[in-house]
Structure 1
Amino acid sequence: MTNLRVLDFTFQNLSQKSMTFEEVFSNILHFMKKDPNGRYRLIFGTDSQVHTTYTRFITGIVIQCESKGAWACIRKVIVPRKMKNLHERISYETTLTEEVFSMFSEEKKEQLINIVLPNIYKGASFTIEGHVDIGSTSKNKTRIFVNEMVGRMESLGIEPKIKPDSFVASSYANRFTK
């Protein structure tokens, strides 16, 4: 018998504090059920900031309905040391994104897909994206990690996005790392 680790995380946004994953999932379901004809993107992304005595990681979960808004929340993780090694930090950001994504079981993903499924012929859609706070331009120090982190997202069946398209990591999560 395998020993499965129970994921016990808390999430928050501007109006709700200390949400369980079940509450997060319920909010996403509610948001999508308001418009079953919507074009939805379920997006995960993590960013970090090194502070004096710790490193703060913020993972964002965003359900976006094209041209109709979004619902979002974050999960905060504090590592009690300065993580100066860039590869270690980017790798841990990706791990935290993978960890939150893994909470969406096949059954939960199916529940979300079933909301839009009857309306695909009307333009409804549902995609899952993993936003990684790295870029491929020659000026970007993280470019050497692009293949590794993109491969990790793809191996989970998540559509990877990097800068400038990784706004959940590089913009939304980033604002809470300060």
Structure 2
Amino acid sequence: MDFNTFFNTIESKMSFEIVMERLKQFIGIAPKHHYVLSIGTDSQVHKNETRFVTAIHLHRVGKGAWGCVHSYIIPRAIHNVREKISYETMLSQEVAYLFVSKRLGELIELLVPYKRDGADLTFQIHLDIGQKGTTKEFIQEMTAKIAAMGIEPIIKPEAYAAFSYANRYTK
């Protein structure tokens, strides 16, 4: 999958390298804070396609956020909930893998000198599933996939990167 077309309300056609630079710039402005880097995917079924949007969201806890999204379209309407949730989870995992090797370490390194001041980075994957509704039967299966990567899985109602931020761009 080509993840070199991220965008947000200010920039379009950002490569993952540019996304990394923006994340580093955002941390560099206030490196003494706790950050939560969240990856989450939401989808919307349209007449002849299903649009998946994966968000990268960096929250400076209590002090704002920076984010961008990647859109992926499957040229058919996916009505099977398990298939849709599986795709969402897989796309979030794919983007998370872009960070897992050395890239996440690069962000953490920016915070190391400020650890005593409370600087920290938490890495999460937000899943668009929860205890209510048709997705509750997939919680164990999908969270196990994320936990197997060594990443903290977050579900609704705390999974804002998926059901709130990414959702804005699925329409």
Alignment partner of 1:22 out of 17, 23, 30: 17
Alignment partner of 2:166 out of 140, 164, 173: 173
Q: Work out whether residues 44 and 59 of structure 1, in 8 Å CA contact, stay in contact via their aligned partners in 2.
A: yes
1:134-145 correspondence to structure 2 within 5 Å: 134-137=129-132, 140-145=133-138
Moved more, 8-17 or 53-62: 8-17
Aligned amino acid, residue 14 of structure 2:
M
Q: Work out whether residues 60 and 72 of structure 1, in 8 Å CA contact, stay in contact via their aligned partners in 2.
A: yes
Matched residue, 2:6 = 11
Q: CA deviation at 1:62?
A: 0.6
Matched residue, 1:148 = 141
Q: 1:7 to 1:52 in 2, by over 3 A?
A: closer
Matched residue, 1:126 = 121
State the secondary structure of the residue aligned to 2:77. coil
State the secondary structure of the residue aligned to 1:59. strand
Q: Work out whether residues 11 and 20 of structure 1, in 8 Å CA contact, stay in contact via their aligned partners in 2.
A: yes
Query: Aligned pair 1:159/2:170, yes or no?
Result: no
Tell me, in whole angstroms, the C-alpha distance in 2 between the residues paired with 1:90 and 1:56.
12
Matched residue, 1:3 = none
Tell me, in whole angstroms, the C-alpha distance in 2 between the residues paired with 1:148 and 1:9.
29
Aligned amino acid, residue 98 of structure 2:
M
Q: Work out whether residues 6 and 13 of structure 2, in 8 Å CA contact, stay in contact via their aligned partners in 1.
A: yes
Q: CA deviation at 1:155?
A: 1.2
State the secondary structure of the residue aligned to 2:7. coil
Gaps of 5+ in 2: none
Matched residue, 1:71 = 66
Q: Work out whether residues 7 and 103 of structure 1, in 8 Å CA contact, stay in contact via their aligned partners in 2.
A: no
Matched residue, 2:86 = 91
Aligned amino acid, residue 154 of structure 1:
A
Tell me, in whole angstroms, the C-alpha distance in 2 between the residues paired with 1:113 and 1:54.
38
Tell me, in whole angstroms, the C-alpha distance in 2 between the residues paired with 1:165 and 1:67.
15
Tell me, in whole angstroms, the C-alpha distance in 2 between the residues paired with 1:110 and 1:36.
15
TM-score (norm 2): 0.96
Matched residue, 1:55 = 50
Tell me, in whole angstroms, the C-alpha distance in 2 between the residues paired with 1:8 and 1:47.
16
Q: Work out whether residues 53 and 72 of structure 2, in 8 Å CA contact, stay in contact via their aligned partners in 1.
A: yes
RMSD over aligned CA atoms reads 1.2
Tell me, in whole angstroms, the C-alpha distance in 2 between the residues paired with 1:20 and 1:125.
25
